[in-house]
């Protein structure tokens, strides 16, 4: 009798322990599941790419110079951001640092209306020269998905088409790029990429463009205004527009054809420009160079951490100047009246 009682106690104790354990494990499991479901990556909590400049041991490369490698051009801004020119970087050092990071570079391209015709050369030349060796994901905004040419991409590279409404005004197309990039970052790039470049499509790569261009937030010097006095920059000069810059301010004139950087930084930029564009729209004013004017305003008060020389944005019709050792990326010649939907 007494033995039976002991047995009953033992069974009860085991059952109790089992119950407690099961409950604990279950709540732990369900908490994990709950956390997983709750964790929607956003721009705020995006796990950032490691920005340490880690360098593998045992790599042989040239000793750095102690004098400036380029005496004909400025290679630093007054806030000490590098201006990237041929001869200022050692690609083998750059790649030793960045290849091991296993990064993905999102590249946004807009090709609406007749601008789809620029895609073939753009993509084919990008596959030859742009971020070769790195994972690249093109996000192509277009209203003519059926006219997108088939271009063979290197391994590890992909292209996603994003159906985009047409527009009857070219200004509207360039203006809307900011908000579309802002949304794309929020909806996809927080998960899918580490860096982003936004590039004009009426362009072609002629030479290497690689990881030397990566940084927090990257601007490009417009080839038409390198060396121009700031008073002659085509900034927005009407105070009614938020993009207004007074004549005594300004560092450089940046091109709207290239914007780059880490996802979070470019999100900040596109959001700020979109908000400014909305204010202008409400006040019924359109800046003289659309989003490029707002971009210049943004970069005046939020300085870029790296600046690309005109090697990274040339124009095919321009004669090569002596300080241009290479042309990497250039605007092709286009017949504005023929390709744009309106004058
Ligand atoms: C070299 C440079 O910095 N260029 C800038 C300049 O003129 P651009 O003459 O370079 O402007 P653009 O006609 O190339 O338009 C900019 C981009 O918008 C897209 N697009 C435009 C029209 C159209 O019908 N379909 C279409 O897809 C396309 O991706 C094109 O590359 O000023 C524009 C703003 O006004 C942009 O800031 C451009 O980046
Ligand atoms: Mn262009």
Q: For the segment 27-82, what is each residue's pLDDT rounded down to a tens digit?
A: 555 555 555 566 678 998 888 889 999 999 999 999 999 999 999 999 999 999 99
Residue 341, pLDDT score: 95
Residue 40, pLDDT score: 76
Residue 70, pLDDT score: 96
Site to probe by mutation for ligand 1, drawn from 174, 259, 343 as the one with most ligand atoms within 8 Å of Cβ, is 174
Residue 9, pLDDT score: 67
Site to probe by mutation for ligand 1, drawn from 200, 270, 298 as the one with most ligand atoms within 8 Å of Cβ, is 200
- Per-residue pLDDT band for 19 (boundaries 50, 70, 90) equals low
| CB 122 less than 6 A from any atom of ligand 1 | no
What tokens does 42 get? Answer: 């956003």
Residue whose CA is closest, atom 15 of ligand 1?
174
Q: Would the pLDDT of 26 be above 70?
A: no
Q: In degrees, to the nearest 5, what angle opens at C-alpha 123 toward C-alphas 121 and 129?
A: 95
DSSP code of 280?
A: H
Annotated binding site: 115, 200-202, 222, 292
CA distance 224 to 331: 12
Instruction: Quote the pTM value.
Output: 0.90
Q: Would the pLDDT of 269 be above 90?
A: yes
Residue 47, pLDDT score: 85
CA atoms 11, 17, 19, 25: torsion sign: negative
Q: Would the pLDDT of 276 be above 70?
A: yes
Residue whose CA is closest, atom 18 of ligand 1?
174
CA atoms 305, 311, 317, 321: torsion sign: positive
| CB 222 less than 6 A from any atom of ligand 1 | yes
Q: For the segment 110-151, what is each residue's pLDDT rounded down to a tens digit?
A: 999 999 999 999 999 999 999 999 999 999 999 999 999 999
Residue whose CA is closest, atom 17 of ligand 1?
200
Ligand nearest to the CA of 290: 1
Q: For the segment 6-16, what is each residue's pLDDT rounded down to a tens digit?
A: 666 666 666 65
Mean pLDDT confidence for 281-308: 98
The reply to whether 86 belongs to the active site is no
Phi, psi (rounded to 5 degrees) for 125: -75, -30
| CB 257 less than 6 A from any atom of ligand 1 | yes
Mean pLDDT of the chain: 93
Helix 290-301, helix 263-282: angle, nearest 10: 120
Q: For the segment 210-248, what is each residue's pLDDT rounded down to a tens digit?
A: 999 999 999 999 999 999 999 999 999 999 999 999 999
| CB 253 less than 6 A from any atom of ligand 1 | no
Within 13 A of 210's CA, how many CA atoms are on the CB side?
20
């Amino acid at each position: 009798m007494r033995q039976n009682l002991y047995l009953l106690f033992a069974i009860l104790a085991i059952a109790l322990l089992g119950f407690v354990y099961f409950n604990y494990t279950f709540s732990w499991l369900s908490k994990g599941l709950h956390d997983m479901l709750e964790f929607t990556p956003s721009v705020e909590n995006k796990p950032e790419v490691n920005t340490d400049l880690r360098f593998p041991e045992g790599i042989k490369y040239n000793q750095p110079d102690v004098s400036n490698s380029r005496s004909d051009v400025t290679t630093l801004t007054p806030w000490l951001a590098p201006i990237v020119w041929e001869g200022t970087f050692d690609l083998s050092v750059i790649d030793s640092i960045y290849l091991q990071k296993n990064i993905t570079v999102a590249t946004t391209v807009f090709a609406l209306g007749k601008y789809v015709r620029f895609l073939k050369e753009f993509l084919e030349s990008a596959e030859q020269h742009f971020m070769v060796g790195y994972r690249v994901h093109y996000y192509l905004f277009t209203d003519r998905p059926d006219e997108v040419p088939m271009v063979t991409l290197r391994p590890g590279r992909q292209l996603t088409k994003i159906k985009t409404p047409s527009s009857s005004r070219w200004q509207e197309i360039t203006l809307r790029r900011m908000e579309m990039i802002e949304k794309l970052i929020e909806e996809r790039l927080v998960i899918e990429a580490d860096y982003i470049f936004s590039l004009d499509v009426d362009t072609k790569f002629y030479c290497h463009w690689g990881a030397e261009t990566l940084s927090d937030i990257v601007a490009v010097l417009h080839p038409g205004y390198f060396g121009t006095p700031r008073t002659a920059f085509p900034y927005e000069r009407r105070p009614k527009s938020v993009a207004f810059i007074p004549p005594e301010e300004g560092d450089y004139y940046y091109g709207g054809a290239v914007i780059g950087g880490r996802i979070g930084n470019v999100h900040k930029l596109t959001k700020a420009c979109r908000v400014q564009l909305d204010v202008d729209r409400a006040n019924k004013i359109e800046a003289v160079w659309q989003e490029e004017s707002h971009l210049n305003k943004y970069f005046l008060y939020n300085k870029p951490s790296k600046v690309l020389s005109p090697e990274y944005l040339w124009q095919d019709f321009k004669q090569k100047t002596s300080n241009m050792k290479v042309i990497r990326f250039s605007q092709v010649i286009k017949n504005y009246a023929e390709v744009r939907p309106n004058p």
